Amino acid sequence: MQQRSATRLLHALKSAGPQSAAVMARRLGITSAAARQHLAKLKAEGLVAFEVAAAGVGRPRHLWHLTQKGHARFPDNHAGLALELIQSVGRVFGAEGLESLIAEREKASLGLYKSRLGRGDLGQRVRRLAQLRSEEGYMAEVAPAPGGGFLLKENHCPICVAARVCQGLCRSELALFRAALGPGVEVERLEHILAGARRCAYRIRPLAR
């Protein structure tokens, strides 16, 4: 039970970012004391850390977050092998060959995405997209976007190691979303893990007519 609670705390930090022990306790249905106890153990393992944030009147709050080691606990789609293969393609076939490989991956993915998104209004298709991305390991969720439309949030990037070496993968994913959702839909990346954000986030909305 204790191990399960600790795992749930890690997932809560991964999916929602830095939080206080009290907030996580309410979210998981455990006491604040239990949450702090689990966090202390996770900190001792090097999986979480905290920053002190001023909270107006009263004591400062401790905002907990995942460390690099904590982020590494989540799936990475065999990052080492993917990285080695990408580097090998670049050495053997050059930049042009690597771009061809990315284009072929995008083309193959587009057929799957279109079939899974199917018909329906934009909200339905964005939610199906989030479900598909979660199945692929991206821990995706949908929320209303400020100013209209939808915010697709991806709290984990299972290809992050490969994407740092081959940033064409990120460019390809953005193009994939646009093609899968079709004309008349704007897809804009607002947050990017490779730019230092804790997640990737996309605003998806109908194009103004």
**Domain range enclosing 31:** 2-71
Lowest mean pLDDT among 23-32, 85-94, 106-115, 181-190: 85-94
Which pLDDT belongs to residue 42?
93
Q: For 163-173, what is the mean pLDDT? A: 81
Same domain, 65 and 91: no
Lowest mean pLDDT among 51-60, 75-84, 160-169, 176-185: 75-84
Closest CA to 101 of 115, 116, 87: 87
Same domain, 17 and 91: no
Same domain, 50 and 115: no
194: domain CATH number is 3.30.1380
Number of domains in the chain: 2
Same domain, 137 and 38: no
Which pLDDT belongs to residue 204?
97
Q: For 15-24, what is the mean pLDDT? A: 88
Same domain, 107 and 144: yes
Same domain, 65 and 83: no
| Greatest extent of the chain over all pairs of C-alpha atoms, in Å | 62
Which pLDDT belongs to residue 131?
93
Q: Is 43 left (phi over 0), alpha (psi -120 to 50) or beta?
A: alpha
Lowest mean pLDDT among 36-40, 70-74, 132-136, 193-197: 70-74
Same domain, 139 and 41: no
Residue 181 has pLDDT above 80, yes or no: yes
47: domain CATH number is 1.10.10.10
Q: Which of 37, 71, 105 is the last residue of a domain?
A: 71
Residue 178 has pLDDT above 90, yes or no: yes
User: How far apart, in whole angstroms, are the C-alpha atoms of residue 46 and residue 41?
Assistant: 9
Output the DSSP codes for 145-204. PTTSSEEEEE---TTHHHHHH-THHHHHHHHHHHHHH-TTEEEEEEE-GGGT-SSEEEEE
Q: How many CB atoms lie within 10 A of CB 49?
A: 18
Which pLDDT belongs to residue 159?
78
Same domain, 202 and 118: yes
Which pLDDT belongs to residue 190?
96
Q: For 159-169, what is the mean pLDDT? A: 77
Same domain, 104 and 179: yes
Residue 170 has pLDDT above 60, yes or no: yes
Q: For 121-135, what is the mean pLDDT? A: 94
Same domain, 98 and 155: yes
Residue 48 has pLDDT above 80, yes or no: yes
Which pLDDT belongs to residue 108?
85
The chain-wide mean pLDDT, for the chain, equals 85
Which pLDDT belongs to residue 82?
63
Residue 209 has pLDDT above 70, yes or no: no
Q: Which of 18, 36, 71 is the last residue of a domain?
A: 71
The helix/strand/coil state of 102 is helix
Same domain, 106 and 176: yes
Same domain, 30 and 50: yes
Q: What is the pLDDT of residues 49-92, one digit of tens each?
A: 998 876 656 667 889 998 888 887 876 555 565 667 677 767 77
Q: Are strands 185-191 and 150-154 parallel, antiparallel or unpaired?
A: unpaired
Strand locations in 37-158, DSSP E?
48-53, 61-66, 140-144, 150-154
User: How far apart, in whole angstroms, are the C-alpha atoms of residue 64 and residue 143?
Assistant: 23
Q: Which of 71, 105, 127 is the last residue of a domain?
A: 71
Closest CA to 160 of 196, 207, 117: 196
Which pLDDT belongs to residue 2?
61
Output the DSSP codes for 12-42. HHHHH-SB-HHHHHHHHT--HHHHHHHHHHH
